Chain A
Amino acid sequence: MLHTSEINLATKKKKKKLFTRADISGWLLIAPSFILMCVLILRPQIMGMVWSTFEMKGFQVVKFVGLDNFKRVLTNTDFLQTFINTWEYLGWSLVIGLLPPFIIAIVMNEMAVFRKTIRTLVYFPGIMPAVAVSVLWAFIYQPNVSGMLNAILAKFGVEPYGWLQDGRFTILYIIISMTWSGMAGTAIYYFAGLQGVNNELYEAAMIDGAGFFTRLRVVVIPYMLPMLLVFAARQCIGVFQVVDQPLQMTGGGPNNASMSMGLLSYNYAFVNYRPQLAMVVNVITFCVIMIFTLIYNHVDKRASENM
Chain B
Amino acid sequence: MKKDDFSNRINNGALRPMDMKGAKGRVTYGILSVVMLLHLLIVCIPVVWMIMLCFKEPAEIYSKTPTFFPKSIDLGKIAGLWNQLEIYRYYLNTLIVAVGCVIFDVGISGLAGYSLSRLKPKGSRVYFVLVSITMLLPATTAMVPNYMLYKDLGLLNSYIPLWLIAGMNMFHVLLFKSSFDGLPLSIIEAAKIDGASDIKIFLKIVIPMSMPVVVTCSIFTFNGAFGDFFWPYLLITDPEKTVMGVRLFEIKNSNLSMDKQMVAALFTLLPQAIIFILFQKQIMGGINIGGVKG
A residues with CB within 8 A of B: 18-20, 22-27, 29-30, 32-34, 36-37, 39-45, 47-49, 51, 59, 103-104, 106-113, 115, 118-125, 127-132, 134-140, 144-146, 148, 151, 154, 180, 184-185, 188-189, 192, 194, 197, 199, 202-203, 206, 211-212, 215-216, 219-220, 237, 240-241, 243-244, 248, 261-262, 265-266, 269-270, 275, 278-279, 282-283, 285-286, 289-290, 293, 296-297
Contact = CB atoms under 8 A, between A and B. Distances in A.
22 contacts: A23-B121, A23-B123, A32-B108, A37-B130, A37-B168, A41-B137, A41-B168, A44-B144, A44-B145, A48-B142, A107-B32, A110-B15, A111-B32, A113-B9, A121-B44, A123-B284, A129-B269, A136-B47, A192-B291, A216-B14, A265-B140, A286-B141
Nearest to A276: B144
Interface string B22-65: 00110011001101100110111111011001000000011111
Contacts of A185: 287, 293
Interface string B171-188: 001000000000000000
B16 interface: yes
B229 interface: yes
Nearest to B49: A148
A32 B265 contact: no
Interface string B268-286: 1100110010001001100
B227 interface: yes
B134 interface: yes
B62 A146 contact: yes
A27 B32 contact: no
A206 B21 CA distance: 14
A127 B223 contact: yes
A27 B111 CA distance: 10
Nearest to A138: B252
A34 B143 contact: no
B66 to A, nearest CB: 5
B258 A279 contact: no
Interface residues of B, number: 107
B46 to A, nearest CB: 6
Given A37-B168, A41-B134, A219 B265 contact: no
SS class of chain B's interface: helix, strand, loop or mixed?
A: helix
A111 B33 contact: yes
Given A36-B164, A127-B273, A265-B140, A244 B230 contact: yes
A192 B36 contact: no
B32 A110 contact: yes
Chain A facing B: main interface SS: helix
Contacts of A37: 130-131, 134, 168, 170
A123 B141 CA distance: 31
A128 B122 contact: no
A118 B32 CA distance: 13
B291 A189 contact: yes
Contacts of B36: 104, 107-108, 111, 118
Contact of A282 (B25, B61, B144, B167): B144
Nearest to A193: B291
Contacts of A22: 119, 121
Most chain-A Cβ atoms within 10 A of its Cβ — which of B108, B234, B262, B283?
A: B108
Contacts of A48: 141-142, 144-145
Contacts of B64: 145
A32 B112 contact: yes
Given A212-B28, A275-B144, 14 more contacts: A25-B198, A30-B127, A33-B108, A43-B145, A123-B276, A129-B227, A129-B269, A132-B268, A135-B264, A139-B262, A189-B291, A197-B13, A212-B19, A237-B138
Given A140-B46, A212-B14, A40 B168 contact: yes
Interface in B105-150: 107-109, 111-112, 114-116, 119-124, 127, 130-131, 134, 136-149
